[in-house]
Amino acid sequence: MDRAPRTPGRGRRPWAAALVSALALALPLAGAGQATAADVNNAKNAGFESGLSGWTCSANSGSVVSSPVHGGAAALKATPAGQDNARCSQTVAVRPNSTYRLTGWVQGGYAYLGVTGTGTTDVSTWTPDSSAWKQLSTSFSTGSNTTSVTVYTHGWYGQQPYYVDDVSVLGPDGGGGGDPEPTVPATPGGLTVSGTTASSVTLAWNAVSGATGYAVYRDGTRVTAVTGTSATVTGLAAATSYSFQVAATNAAGESAKSTSVSVRTRENGGGGGDLPRHAVTGYWQNFNNGAAVQKISDVPGQYDIIAVAFADATGTPGAVTFNLDSAGLNGYTVDQFKADVRAKQAAGKKVIISVGGEKGTVAVNDSASATNFANSVYAVMQEYGFDGVDIDLENGLNATYMTQALRALSAKAGPSMILTMAPQTIDMQSTSNSYFRTALNVKDILTVVNMQYYNSGSMLGCDGKVYSQGSVDFLTALACIQLENGLDPSQVGLGLPASTRGAGSGYVAPSVVNAALDCLTRGTSCGSFKPSKTYPALRGAMTWSTNWDATAGNAWSNAVGPHVHALP
């Protein structure tokens, strides 16, 4: 969106030889026997629940963390640095002439698990960096005089930190006082529903001591297993009731199932709470660029969603804040602004904060900035009472981390959060584009994508033909791309300038907007392009801005608003 009218216009991998060597070492020993029922875990402090007790890490590279963990409440984090590969080890008592199974759970950067001093053949195994917990496993035999071995883990030079949990040296009791044998864990408590969509339910529960995982049941049938204390069950039917339970698991077995919780999935159509079936979105300018200066209370009632433009970037990557331009808005105070937001909401309207715009510099390019974005937007929503957020990043976005940020924000704000987007036309030409991918990634919590049909020039329609902006065909043929490539019709809106002064190019008369809406929803008033089917659930239209609309006597909202609300 324009603050002023404008014109169109990983690091290196380990050496191959080292990898080949590691792979060779990872091969199991011929004739290695299987563990028996009498075997025990001879490792001490195998889950790092007692800190680093029993373990030694090179160059102080190891520490104990509470997240991520595979089981219990702790895990090892080891960080390679310089010429140190973050080797952590412990001495384990074993019996001579015996076979042992060495296992451990790892996550993160390159991770190795191995044993030395066996008296026979020392072995190791490894895995490339992994974003989820992964079990490493190998076997070894002890020599005739071997009473102890050294078990170790390490990472790789220049790689990311790695995590280790639940190490096991399973075999005959070496007399070294290993960890006690596990018992069946207790039943999890505190099972709650932390989020729902039309096709999924997110559950959370309390951790159980001694559990290494949890099984989730839907209507009595086991549907998934996780290592943490939350899970999202997907593939559900919309507007349908389900019952869920959870059980704790470890090597000794599975607990009894928890008390059940019942939940009904949401209707189709993503986020939006009690938003009307057909809605009009208008951007409200928190600055004076020559358009009519407004208070929120001045915005006409035809607007169902008012997007406050814009949040401001901070010095923290990904984080935003909001600063009311009281001086530029003729002394409009924060208290008046908040009161006007509440009054609009009492009248059934939604007021959201928009992030981005033509000059927006917010960048969400990694997990840290994604977390900063979610936390800061939620704080702004709490402070000013906003119903949600609009993503209007015209200088590009990272689909992976923006998805992460929006899901984290949704988890905080709840299922009634309004989530809108205002991509430029080029951003929605293909599902491979970052904006389109992001929209599809968050489809279950997405309210509407109001693509900007202006400042773009000619573009391809869904029929492969080129259309020039400023016509019914331009609006309908480009909307068709979104409608036929994954977005629900209720998640598609037409974004247009409210007046010729609202954008550098692309203004069309309100009658053209209404004709495009009729073509898409009713199959009437089309130009040369006519969609293969109608989309009566199309969400509606958006304009930049309520201020430019007011400058032109509210001609846009007076014409388009009633038409949108009368759509089928």
Active site residues: 394
The DSSP line for 17-29 is HHHHHHHHHHSPP
How would you classify residue 278: left for phi > 0, otherwise alpha for psi between -120 and 50, otherwise beta?
Answer: beta
Cα separation, 494 vs 427, in Å, equals 14
Please name the helix (run of DSSP H) or strand (run of DSSP E) that holds residue 192, with its range, or none.
Answer: strand 192-196
Cα separation, 474 vs 466, in Å, equals 9
SS3 at position 480:
helix
Q: Which residues contact 343 (CB under 8 A, 6 or more apart)?
A: 296, 297
Candidates 550, 559, 58; CA nearest to 294 is 550
Buried b (16+ CB within 10 A) or exposed e, 374-385: bbbbbebbeebe
Q: Compute how many other C-beta atoms are within 10 angstroms of the C-beta atom of residue 35.
A: 17
In residues, how long is the chain? 568
Q: In degrees rounded to 5, what are phi and psi of residue 515?
A: -65, -40
DSSP 8-state symbol, 376: H
Using CA of residue 63, residue 68, residue 70, residue 74, what is the dihedral sign? positive
Using only C-alpha atoms, the chain has a radius of gyration, in whole angstroms, of 29
- Alpha-helical segments (H) within 3-117: 16-26
Cα separation, 103 vs 26, in Å, equals 12
Cα separation, 417 vs 377, in Å, equals 12
